[in-house]
Chain A
Amino acid sequence: MLEMRGVTKAFGSTVANDSIDLELRKGEIHGLLGENGAGKSTLVKILYGLYKADEGEIYIDGEPAGITTPSDAVDRGIGMVHQHFMLVPTLSVAENVVLGAEPGQGPRLDIAAAERAVRDLSERYGLRVDPTANVGHLSVGVQQRVEVLKTLYRDARILVLDEPTAVLTPQETDELFTVLRGFVDEGLSIILITHKLGELLGVSDRITVIRDGKVVDTVVTSETDEAELARLMVGREVVLQVAKEDVEAGDVRMEASDLIVDGASGEAVSGVGLEIRSGEILGVAGVDGNGQVELAEALAGVRQPRSGRIELAGEDVTALDSAAMRARGLAYVPEDRGGKGLVGEFTLAENFVLKTYRRSMFSKIGWLLRNAIRAFARRRIDAFDVRPPNPQASAASLSGGNQQKVIVARELAGEPDVLIANQPTRGVDVGAIEFIHGQLLEQRERGAAILLISLELDEIRQLADRIAVMYDGRIVGEIDAADATDEQLGLWMAGRGGPDEDQPTGDDRVRS
């Protein structure tokens, strides 16, 4: 059906794809597995005409595909669901679906025909969505359906999905996979990209594993298991389970009550209360954009809450800014390392003292003590195995995993009493994930109170002692990690089964 041969693509001196061969058979779901930065997205962007390969050929049905632009790819029957949705929030579902291939005569747009086409497709493939709804008002899961409908509307025979489950609850993931199996029955072929190996086992026919831009192996799903896939993906044995010591939770270190916090577009946190105890990790799960960022920023003193109360060790700190919070033993790992965590143009040494340069050990009467700063940076770099181990390197020149290590190394330097960590392992490699997880557990054993916010449910389930689920600015459920199930957490993540069950969820305009 589709064959990629010897595809090579370099960005500057980094080779993202090194002579990659990939074969997609008709009617199969082919998993493309690899770590963040392994080159999966680059490969499919070449297939879709968004990047131009330096070398290699692509064949569809045995003929050279000749794809240089996305419209070539569409013409050849390739449809792509991007990791970041390509949707216009101000337009309707039907308008989004037909954009670029609109029905109508002459210059006229026949919106009624567009809505009819969307309705037909959604009924035929079981993708429930209201064609007249405004896309900006839909939940992410439904937006993804719109993306899939876009490809079907253009008669895609080969469907490429880039990390489609990253934004879904476990139930939505199951639902998506059911729909995909239905597509295969209709004769479509599917490439499914992910870094979560567990979910590929359930849905795919074959799996191609990519590491450092090279194909490691292509395996038949029924003949492999999680351990083998992990080894292929990372290149060494991986400990899938985190060893967690039993730690008795101590005093309440941080407490928040009735927090209401405004975000960029109105109220983002609507009355959250929580407490974090010494020696425990409170995990906050939820689909992206349900108020997690605003909650973390309010607790860290970066964002002033509209109302409510925050206490650190019994002291009312609601009105304090982040520097005052830091002085009281709070550390904060923001979710956006490039934008909020580090200054890319600054050296590692400068980044290490971004928040502490005023202290007497780093400056005297306004003069920075460069040697002391560099020595401090060198010690942290050694302790956290940051590569390259050069305090004078610019932060931007590091890989994502090493940048994240720098932030964690900085935040943990003062042995904080409370740590707010928002997605500390987003987009980093397995090695860095293991390391950061180890550090979080070490802090917990030391007695720190940790709030861990993550979109990866697996991460929360591995590390947290208690799990709270955020939906639409509220904590809809809380449970001991030992008693938690994916089903229960998934229901909460979708805003169902919580204490406000009777209330309409508002933004999930699914017609059922």
Chain B
Amino acid sequence: MDELTALLASTIRNATPLAFAALGGLFSERSGVINIGLEGMMLISAFAGVAGAQGSGSTVFGLLVALAVGLLFGLVHAVASITFEADQIISGIAINLLALGGTGLLMVLFFGSGGTSPRIEPFSRIDIPLLADIPIVGAIFSQSVLVYLLYALVPITWWVLYRSRFGLRLRAVGEVPEAVDTAGVNVFRLRYIGVGLSGMLAGLGGAFLSMSLLSAFTEGMTNGRGFIALAALIFGRWNPVGAFAAALLFGFAQAVVFRGGIGFTVPQEFIEMFPYLLVIVALVGFGGRAVPPAASGQPYRKE
């Protein structure tokens, strides 16, 4: 019983950063901009959150810094790929490399050495009265405040995408930007908003890693989560609910690894490969043909 509760709690904790980043990827790719820079945006924001919290003594302030830095990196990607029509893959790789090298350098500048930062006060766990007391399922309602934010963001994102004006335009601009342009809507503005939101959401994912899951920044701590989030987005068919479900699946795989394996003896390295293998199997095996937004990857150029 306790074991199951712990596994469920761990699944949610591991899925949360993936889900935040996947929702971020959704806003970017639905607008027609591929964002493989999610990994870097998560990493730099994970650092920014800790640095902000250290500097001010306030965890909430740290979170705001993380969001701002996520937005900033999102806008860097937007400027490169929307305004200057750079290759979106290259721009994303550049952001990942910049975040990796940049956080290493900033660690030395801010904290005097690389490796792991000093500890901060993390976001505390909040038990929802009554609900948290339910056996096993209670684990869903005994989480960090950021997890509850995620619970809210999934339906909100769904509503924005399918029930709002902005969502209709966003869905259209990722498919046929010319149709949006001739309808009198600014394509560039829509895409900037999409990619900007993407950076902020990836930033939330990064902040969760360093300020809730752990309580310090460690170099390279995202460890491929940005890419797994992309896989969750694809596996979830660019749909917020689907992406969240896929993130839970991948989070479950990680939880199994962290909780010491699957019951029989295999080398530890194989167990650690498991989440990534699952990503591949999910994408090629059960995914069927995933069709991305038609215009993703292509810069829009007005005649």
Q: Which residues of A contact B (CB under 8 A)?
A: 45, 48, 50-51, 69-71, 74, 80, 82, 84, 86-91, 95-96, 98-102, 104, 107-109, 111, 150
B171 near A: Cβ within 8 Å? Answer: yes
Let me know if B163 and A96 touch, CB within 8 A: no
Let me know if A69 and B184 touch, CB within 8 A: yes
Best-surrounded residue of A84, A90, A95 (most CB of chain B within 10 A): A90
Let me know if A87 and B179 touch, CB within 8 A: yes
Within 8 A of A (CB), among B130-180: 160, 163-169, 171-172, 175-176, 178-180
B223 near A: Cβ within 8 Å? Answer: no
**How many residues of B are counted as interface, with CB atoms below 8 angstroms from the partner's CB atoms?**
22
Contacts of B164 in A (CB 8 A): 107-109
Contacts of B171 in A (CB 8 A): 88, 90-91
- Give CA–CA (A123, B171) in the complex, Å: 28
Let me know if B168 and A80 touch, CB within 8 A: no
Contacts of A71 in B (CB 8 A): 184
Let me know if A99 and B303 touch, CB within 8 A: no
Q: What are the 3 closest A-B residue pairs judged by CB atoms, nearest first?
A: A71-B184, A100-B183, A86-B179
Let me know if A88 and B303 touch, CB within 8 A: no
Best-surrounded residue of A50, A96, A108, A109 (most CB of chain B within 10 A): A109
Contact of A100 among B169, B176, B178, B303 (CB under 8 A): B169
Let me know if A107 and B182 touch, CB within 8 A: no
Contact A51 to B176, CB < 8 A, known contacts A99-B183, A101-B183: no
Contacts of A70 in B (CB 8 A): 181-184
Let me know if A109 and B185 touch, CB within 8 A: no
Contacts of A51 in B (CB 8 A): 303
The smallest beta-carbon distance between B238 and chain A, in angstroms, is 10
- Give CA–CA (A205, B294) in the complex, Å: 41
- Give CA–CA (A90, B166) in the complex, Å: 16
Within 8 A of A (CB), among B181-207: 181-185
Let me know if B184 and A86 touch, CB within 8 A: no
The smallest beta-carbon distance between B175 and chain A, in angstroms, is 5
- Give CA–CA (A67, B182) in the complex, Å: 13
Let me know if B165 and A102 touch, CB within 8 A: yes
Contacts of A45 in B (CB 8 A): 303
Contacts of B167 in A (CB 8 A): 109
Best-surrounded residue of B164, B180, B182 (most CB of chain A within 10 A): B182
Let me know if A99 and B175 touch, CB within 8 A: no
Contact of B175 among A48, A50, A90 (CB under 8 A): A90
- Give CA–CA (A101, B182) in the complex, Å: 12
| Further contacts, 6 of them, CB under 8 A, given A101-B184, A107-B166 | A69-B184, A89-B294, A100-B169, A100-B185, A107-B165, A109-B164
How would residues 265 to 303 of chain B score, 1 for a CB under 8 Å from any chain A CB and 0 otherwise?
A: 000000000000000000000000000001000000001
Contact A86 to B166, CB < 8 A, known contacts A91-B171, A91-B172: no
